[in-house]
Structure 1
Amino acid sequence: MTDLASLTHALLEAAQKAGADAADALAVEGTSMSIDIRQGKLEQAERAEGIELGLRVLIGGRQACVSVSDTSARTLADVAERAVAMAREAPNDPYAGLADPDQIARGWDLAAFDLVEDAAEPSARALEEAARAVEAAAMSVPGIRQVEASAGYAQRRMFLAATNGFAGGYARSSHSNSAVAFTGEGTGMERDYAGESRIYAADMPSPDSIGQLAAERALARAGARKPRTGSFPVLFDERIAQSLIGHLLSAINGASIARGSSWLRDALGQQVLPKGLSVIEDPHRPRVPGSRPFDGEGLPTQRRVIVENGILTGWTLDLATGRKLGMPSTANAARGTSAPPSPATSNIDLTPGTATRKQLIGQMGTGLLVTSMIGSTINPTTGDYSRGAAGFWVEDGEITYPVNECTIAGNLRDMLLSMIAANDARAHLSTRVPSLLVEGMTLAGA
């Protein structure tokens, strides 16, 4: 196993020797396997192993980032010299810089996060058997013509170190099974999917249940047609409802706020969701993929309330955007090996409602239940929203027929303020958002 800590420290030493005032280094090593089955045959089998190093150097307010996959001492020295040369030519950014030593994380309990399974990786044969079981379960349902099934495994380790004294790393593992099922033929062909992913193999649902669910969803879409045009309530199914909260999170990202390009740029302290709904970030949830003990700049992560009882309480900030806005970082820096940090959230929870999805369908009367979306036109400055959608038409509180080829439109500020949440969020997901009912959206169909 590669000593990632030694590689990052070697990069830092090389950077300082080359003339950097400050630097941070990220090392990432990963292994992944995937098996794809189609029409009963092995369509693709892939395995990837690799390591990548990233170095960010700072000379005053000038910074540059480089990445490399060669870990030889000569390459590390060359990369550091190249990065320093690039930084000398970079424009000055008064907000760029590492965390102060008194800001960085100093200790954490990785075992409490439970992010990696302590077990041997599955064999390619085991993954193929899982994918074939998914496919067989879907194909056993009458009316299914074809299935594309997949199984995968991945493990990733990272280590981050900086000249301000920070050093730390962690690993993640994941198992996944999925299926896309097809029914009908020609222009009447419809499809739908099901998929699950977990850190621990023991937590995974059975392959049979995944294949069967994909088949049931595909069959429910048979005979889809365009819905009526007009203004109707729209229920976003739990599978896609998190996209609405995703638009909210994008709008409060510090990078957008600092540029003045967000439709929520003046909304701090204002109501952005209905009373009773809160958005909470918790990067410390155990056995959840989005958890992390520290952010991409080495700051300790913590639980925070982003929206409290409908009121927006803060932006999502890394060090640079925080400095631009005169605010402290919220420890939300994320980064790869080839670019400087930028703000991003981790695990997100939206307050669940008290009604089931079925009860919200009954409550909406006549409207659209959306189960999938394609394409998007989102104006980041105004919040105007338009997306292609498919799902089911609801009449008098009952699902009546599947629909496709329609467009739903509205304004995100109005949409979020009218939301009614169901209680069907899935507990294991990093982003836990239930089905959401939005009043008065414009539908363009037949």
Structure 2
Amino acid sequence: MSESLLNAAAAKFDQAEVYRIESESHPVSFESNKLKEIMRRDTSGVALRVIDDGRIGFTSTTDASREGELVDRAAALAPFGSEASFSFPAPSEYPTVDIVDPGVPHVAQQAMIDTGQGLIERLLDEWPDLLCDARLGWATGRGRIMNSAGIDEEYEQTSYYCSLGAQLIRGTDMLNVWAGYGSSHLFGDDELDRLLQTVRRSLRWSKETAQATANTGDLPVIFTPRGVGATMLHPLLSGFNGKNVANGSSPLGERWGEKIVDERISVYDNPLIDGASGSRPFDDEGVASRKLALIENGVAGGPLLDLQTAGQLGKSSTGAAGRGLASTPSPSSSVIDIAAGDTHFEDMIAGLKEGLVVEELLGAGQGNELGGDFRANVSLGYKIENGEIVGRVKDTMISGNVYNVLSQVEHLGDSSDWVFGSMRSPAMQVLGVEIAAKDE
């Protein structure tokens, strides 16, 4: 069917592309200590993108019986589409990346139920008043890209994931903690134990509450790997998004090759890491994947580009196109990998007379993200006094600018942890974060 659709479109338009996906997922979820649901989801569909008289036509469907309508629909839409700044790419060499585990589709529902129940029971042994949620599952997917320039490629991917959350209500105080991990490969007891220990650590650190100290930026703040992702990742990546670069809204538009943060900071978009959830041999336009240095030793490398934004900037695609079935491609990250440093996380805490640890935010995204700003309430954070965690902070807000904060790095953790399966980061101790705290 894909071949006949491409042939029909190629005969009618200057250029054509067919994008087809199929997926099967099997989630199991627990809520408030009990099994909530067992499901199976199947998704399939096809998208047609064409270039006709220099304009882009796009349409898609999940109804196989209506695929024959796509050519006429694309013809009707193309005159109103965006101006194309690219041509569809020709075939090329693609890297090999290990993102399929044949054991994943053989994971039984009962095994996932037993795993979820076991994790919850181990938490309840220590905290019997907890309300625990868990979500486990596996999925398989296949993507195929074909175009009139000769590309006809596909790849398969498997995924396996587990997340564990706990809620503790004490009077008017509500504590929520969670941890999660995902991979293209099956994982076992070691990874599950790390999830459990992460949740346990958060619960233990939260037994007491503490008053955060309001500060204008000279109090050290330690971001855990999850804290890095929750606070700094989105405002940082917005500056590297090719759309923002092309329309002139990125603060990095003229700063490629310049030092923008501390020289110890290196951030890569790397879809070639075996087992990572976002890894892939080529992007959603058929451009070969490669490791891209967004920041290397503090210096801005280059933006994330798909075909359209690359054409607008007079550059080549970096293989960063992502898309949903119902949307045209746009630049996006695949697997963010932040280089580690040389300081133990525990030593960061032990070395501070006073400080703040940030793990989770509530309402992230406030402020001018395009300019690198962040501003949000701390939903999970801890106060440090005399080298020890003394309790969880409440009614605390942090704000700052990611470029300013990453230029005031004091320490980087000596190991990187996965935040689910698409980001790997060390802990970071920084200055430059403003802290606002409500008086008790």
Q: How does 1:220-231 map to 2 (within 5 A)?
A: 220-231=205-216
Decide which of 58, 68, 81 is 2:61's aligned counterpart. Answer: 68
Cα 1:123–1:426, aligned 2, differ >3 Å: closer, same or farther?
same
Q: How does 1:370-385 map to 2 (within 5 A)?
A: 370-376=358-364, 377-385=366-374
- Spell out, residue by residue over 1:193-226, the C-alpha distance to the aligned partner (whole angstroms, 9 max, x if none): 1222232224564656644542442343234344
Cα 1:295–1:355, aligned 2, differ >3 Å: closer, same or farther?
same
Query: In the alignment, is the contact (CA less than 8 A) between 1:24 and 1:56 conserved in 2?
Result: yes
Aligned to 1:241: 228
CA distance in 2, matches of 1:280, 1:213: 25
Q: After TM superposition, give the deviation of residue 37 of structure 1 in Å.
A: 2.1
CA distance in 2, matches of 1:209, 1:398: 22
Q: After TM superposition, give the deviation of residue 443 of structure 1 in Å.
A: 0.6
How many residues are matched?
Answer: 430
Query: In the alignment, is the contact (CA less than 8 A) between 2:235 and 2:373 conserved in 1?
Result: no
**More displaced stretch, 292-301 vs 157-166:** 292-301
Q: After TM superposition, give the deviation of residue 246 of structure 1 in Å.
A: 4.0
CA distance in 1, matches of 2:296, 2:130: 48
Q: Return the letter of the residue paired with 2:28.
A: I
Aligned to 1:257: 245
- Spell out, residue by residue over 1:267-304, the C-alpha distance to the aligned partner (whole angstroms, 9 max, x if none): 22221121233223332222222221112221212223
Cα 1:107–1:259, aligned 2, differ >3 Å: closer, same or farther?
closer
Aligned to 2:377: 388
Decide which of 417, 421, 424 is 1:432's aligned counterpart. Answer: 424
Q: After TM superposition, give the deviation of residue 373 of structure 1 in Å.
A: 0.7
Query: In the alignment, is the contact (CA less than 8 A) between 2:235 and 2:370 conserved in 1?
Result: no
Matched, 1:194 2:179: yes
Q: Return the letter of the residue paired with 1:408.
A: I
Matched, 1:352 2:340: yes
Give the RMSD, CA atoms, in angstroms. 2.2
Matched, 1:320 2:308: yes
Q: After TM superposition, give the deviation of residue 439 of structure 1 in Å.
A: 0.5
Decide which of 401, 412, 418 is 1:411's aligned counterpart. Answer: 401
Aligned to 1:59: 52
Q: Percent of pairs identical after alignment?
A: 27
- Spell out, residue by residue over 1:130-164, the C-alpha distance to the aligned partner (whole angstroms, 9 max, x if none): 21112111111135422112221111111111111
Q: Return the letter of the residue paired with 2:426.
A: P
Query: In the alignment, is the contact (CA less than 8 A) between 2:205 and 2:389 conserved in 1?
Result: no
Decide which of 386, 389, 406 is 1:399's aligned counterpart. Answer: 389
Q: Return the letter of the residue paired with 2:24.
A: T
Cα 1:216–1:356, aligned 2, differ >3 Å: closer, same or farther?
closer
- Spell out, residue by residue over 1:374-416, the C-alpha distance to the aligned partner (whole angstroms, 9 max, x if none): 1121303433321111311112332222112211111222112
**More displaced stretch, 291-300 vs 25-34:** 291-300
Q: What SS does structure 1 have at the residue aligned with 2:43?
A: strand
Q: What SS does structure 1 have at the residue aligned with 2:371?
A: coil
Decide which of 59, 68, 79 is 1:77's aligned counterpart. Answer: 68
Matched, 1:217 2:206: no
CA distance in 1, matches of 2:435, 2:318: 38
Decide which of 261, 267, 288 is 1:300's aligned counterpart. Answer: 288
Query: In the alignment, is the contact (CA less than 8 A) between 1:52 and 1:68 conserved in 2?
Result: yes
**More displaced stretch, 195-204 vs 77-86:** 195-204
CA distance in 1, matches of 2:18, 2:288: 18
Aligned to 2:98: 114
Q: After TM superposition, give the deviation of residue 235 of structure 1 in Å.
A: 0.9
CA distance in 2, matches of 1:269, 1:212: 41
Cα 1:440–1:307, aligned 2, differ >3 Å: closer, same or farther?
closer
Q: What SS does structure 2 have at the residue aligned with 1:230?
A: coil
- After TM superposition, the score normalised by the length of structure 2 is 0.91
Query: In the alignment, is the contact (CA less than 8 A) between 1:160 and 1:169 conserved in 2?
Result: yes
Query: In the alignment, is the contact (CA less than 8 A) between 2:354 and 2:387 conserved in 1?
Result: yes
Q: After TM superposition, give the deviation of residue 85 of structure 1 in Å.
A: 1.4
CA distance in 1, matches of 2:187, 2:385: 41
Query: In the alignment, is the contact (CA less than 8 A) between 2:405 and 2:431 conserved in 1?
Result: yes
Query: In the alignment, is the contact (CA less than 8 A) between 1:316 and 1:345 conserved in 2?
Result: yes
Aligned to 1:21: 14
Decide which of 391, 413, 431 is 1:422's aligned counterpart. Answer: 413
CA distance in 2, matches of 1:90, 1:149: 44
Query: In the alignment, is the contact (CA less than 8 A) between 1:15 and 1:84 conserved in 2?
Result: no
Cα 1:395–1:278, aligned 2, differ >3 Å: closer, same or farther?
same
Cα 1:385–1:149, aligned 2, differ >3 Å: closer, same or farther?
closer
Query: In the alignment, is the contact (CA less than 8 A) between 1:20 and 1:58 conserved in 2?
Result: yes
Q: After TM superposition, give the deviation of residue 28 of structure 1 in Å.
A: 0.8
Query: In the alignment, is the contact (CA less than 8 A) between 1:28 and 1:159 conserved in 2?
Result: yes
Cα 1:178–1:51, aligned 2, differ >3 Å: closer, same or farther?
same
Q: After TM superposition, give the deviation of residue 30 of structure 1 in Å.
A: 0.7
- After TM superposition, the score normalised by the length of structure 1 is 0.90
CA distance in 2, matches of 1:382, 1:285: 30
- Spell out, residue by residue over 1:326-345, the C-alpha distance to the aligned partner (whole angstroms, 9 max, x if none): 22222212222222221122
